[in-house]
Chain A
Amino acid sequence: MIMIRSTAFGMTLLLATPLAAATNDFPTRARVEFVLGCMQQSKEAPAASMYKCSCTIDAIAAKVRYSEWVDLSTVANGITIAGERGGVMRDMKDGRKLIDTYRKLQESARKQCFLQPQ
């Protein structure tokens, strides 16, 4: 697999251009993990939320490469670390923009799949 060059701080690329052509390369376990977490947060009946959450992660996977998704989620999670280490993440240039990208990506996929906004 080709590692994309969108490193954390090079990820501004990701913002400047539409998201890189997706290769639908999310591993099964990443999709399942998302679905489980998404279902846990959903207030709908399990079957409904399972379909909607699966739809959502498939919609995300159609838009972004898995490695980019991992980078975005790492930044989004990284800023929650307390202390100096989190400081590195919070200080990251364009970090907030990346988190915004991450949120928007999820929001539009959720909308598409009839999931309530978070």
Chain B
Amino acid sequence: MKFVNAPWLRPALAIATVCLLAAPVASRADADLDKALANPNNWAMQAGDMQNHRYSPLKQINKGNVGKMQVAWMFSTGVLRGHEGSPLVIGDTMYLVSPFPNKVFALDLDTQKIKWRYEPKQDAAVIPQMCCDTVNRGLAYAGNKIFLQQADSTLVALDANSGKVIWSVKNGDPKLGAVNTNAPHVFKDKVITGISGGEWGVRGYITAYDVNTGKQVWRAYSTGPDAEMLFDPDKTMTWTDGEMKPVGKDSSLKSWQGDQWKIGGGTTWGWYSYDKDLNLLYYGSGNPSTWNPIQRKGDNKWSMTIFARDLDTGMAKWAFQMTPWDQWDYDGVNEMILADINVNGKPTKALVHFDRNGFGYTLDRTTGALLVAQKYDPAVNWATKVDMKTGRPEVVKQYAPGENGADVNNKGICPAALGSKDEQPASFDPQTKRFYVPTNHVCMDYEPFQIEYTAGQPYVGATLSMFPAPGGNSMGNFIAWDAGTGKIVQSKAEKFSVWSGALTTAGGIACYGTLEGYLKCVDSNDINKELFKFKTPSGIIGNVFTYEHKGKQYIGVFSGIGGWAGIGMAAGLEKPEEGLGAVGGYHELADYTNLGGSLTVFALPQT
């Protein structure tokens, strides 16, 4: 079928949208993705949907039987290093990508054998340009295409049937540290992708590419002149003295010293979301560069910011800066979860965000108004609270490296640089209306020092040491959160930080992985009730996902953190390319026991 995407159809459709509420907007890719998302047997986007819920209506596996799950099948990517994100499932096919060199596999779910594979040619010089491991957070799907965001910043569209390249486009310059780790996201007829490299002084931006051609539709920078940020000084709004007001002219330029904004970070490597009715795209920007705050006094707008942009034009409808003049590396990139919940008793179209700075924010996603900002880890000490009128955190001087000068070691700051939560995404369960959040419970000493910018070199300017938060026995927690009131409902301690993304299902379970390698499923109504616990071959920093194939529900997760699994010794690390393929491919025994990251897929026993 040829679906028409003719420009002349647009005005008619625009009118139709007004009349019919949510008429499907014209684009073949769009309709195709919507169809895939509507079928809960699929896992068609990284979060399972466009709202970042990470919730599945599947309930064959439920709180009564999840404890019986067994390993149904496994797949080894053959690549060492951290395995983040998760596969996608569309119909009879699973699609997944490995860390650098970003091998893509399409697996036939009937046989678990490889249908096709694609391995891009990337210069290994990109590896040392990546600050925080050579991870890749997954693929995107739409219009019978698979979208791969390579580490070297190349965005590629592959034919979902054959793995053949349809188009490819360069999204940044890896020589300057502009690399990619994020998953691309398809919303409507656009592929949205960000950029990494805040530790290299990269000036962050987000870009929309046409799903069919790869042509750049718009690009919006996080910092700089209004025109390059796609800000309208009169129409782009921000929370000001308790209400939404226009940002005004040169809102970013005024908040930096000189030209620092040009190497000022604000990268965009997180998870994005989209509200179809509002046609708004949501995402966050990362830390300002350098990590030495003394070199960049000012609010450093719009680093550390939640943006709402018109998907078609990229124009910013509103922006909310969480951590003005960052002094801790509390990137604002974590996922924006779009949920319709009661906030302070009132039904609200909310945006919920668990920031690295330790505050859980609830905003009105239509207007950008601040509704709730509360600590989601009691250890947070760098700020006493967020002033609800200004939206600014009330910073404690003792824990503010910028206030205390260069070469001073600021001790005992909580959370540590990687935040009370890093990119590992939370899940929203529409049944319990709660958010299930994997967290860090780690503090740091932070000593900033003067650093000169050199293009293509790390631009950090601080020395850190990190340690568990005082007074407890855990470096992480899995929490249930009420975003309407900003309260922790329950907290389940974990020995190690929880760096795996959560899944909730209609079966009344919440699942997540641990650094020890356990996949755990707990009761969504009482997260301290551990219903399932299974040790996978390596530590888990991937996201739990689920799908159904031929009437059977499966729950899967990547494991693989860096070095060797199982027996822990360093041997084999020198040969990260040793490669393997599916268990179904019957390679050597060793191939799927210890080498590389593994996907482990669970199901209820056959009866």
- B130 partner residues in chain A, CB cutoff 8 A: 82
**Contacts A38-B567, A76-B568, A77-B568; A83 near B131 (Cβ below 8 A):** yes
* Number of chain B residues whose Cβ lies closer than 8 Å to a Cβ of chain A: 50
- The 8 Å CB contact of B535, one of A10, A29, A38, is A29
| Chain A residues within 8 Å of B563, by CB | 76-77, 79-80
Q: Across the interface, which residues of B come within 8 angstroms of A71, CB to CB? A: 495, 516
User: How big is chain A's contact interface, by range?
Assistant: 35 or more
Which residues of A1-45 have CB atoms within 8 Å of chain B's CB atoms? Answer: 5, 7-10, 27, 29-30, 33-34, 36-41
Beyond contacts A7-B474, A77-B568, A86-B562: 13 other A-B pairs, Cβ-Cβ < 8 A, are A33-B566, A36-B589, A36-B593, A40-B594, A74-B496, A74-B517, A76-B563, A76-B568, A77-B565, A78-B496, A79-B563, A84-B416, A84-B422
Q: How far is the CB of A28 from chain B (nearest CB, A)?
A: 12
Is the Cβ of B475 less than 8 Å from the Cβ of A88? yes
Q: Which of B134, B497, B537, B570 contacts A85 (CB 8 A)?
A: B497
Q: Are B515 and A74 in contact (CB under 8 A)?
A: yes
7 residue pairs of the A-B complex, CB under 8 angstroms, read: A30-B535, A37-B594, A39-B590, A78-B561, A79-B563, A85-B541, A86-B133
Binding site for B on A (CB under 8 A): 5, 7-10, 27, 29-30, 33-34, 36-41, 70-71, 73-74, 76-88, 91-93, 102, 106, 118
| B516 in contact with A7 (CB, 8 Å) | no
List B contacts of A41 (CB < 8 A).
567, 569, 571-572
Whether B538 and A77, one on each chain, are in contact in the complex, defined by CB atoms closer than 8 angstroms, is yes
Does B81 have its Cβ within 8 Å of any Cβ on chain A? yes
Q: Mark B417-444, 1 if CB is under 8 A from A, else 0.
A: 1100010000000000000000010100
Binding site for A on B (CB under 8 A): 81-82, 130-134, 416-418, 422, 440, 442, 464-468, 473-475, 495-497, 499, 515-517, 535, 537-539, 541, 561-573, 589-590, 593-594
Are B571 and A80 in touch, CB under 8 angstroms?
Answer: no
Cβ contacts under 8 Å, B537 to chain A:
33
For residue B475, which residues in chain A have a CB less than 8 angstroms away from its CB? 8-9, 88
Least distance between B572 CB and chain A CB atoms (Å): 8
In angstroms, Cα B497 to Cα A37, docked, is 26
Closest to B132 in A: A83
| Best-buried of A29, A33, A106, A118 by chain B (most CB within 10 Å) | A33
> Which partner residue on chain A sits nearest B81 by CB separation?
A82
| A-side contacts of B468, CB under 8 Å | 8-9, 92
B464 and A118 contacting across the interface, CB-CB below 8 Å: no
By beta carbon, the residue of chain B nearest A9 is B468
Given contacts A33-B566, A74-B496, A106-B567, contact A81 B473 (CB under 8 A): no
Q: How far is the CA of A87 from the CA of B593 in the complex (A)?
A: 27
Contact B515 A78 (CB under 8 A): yes
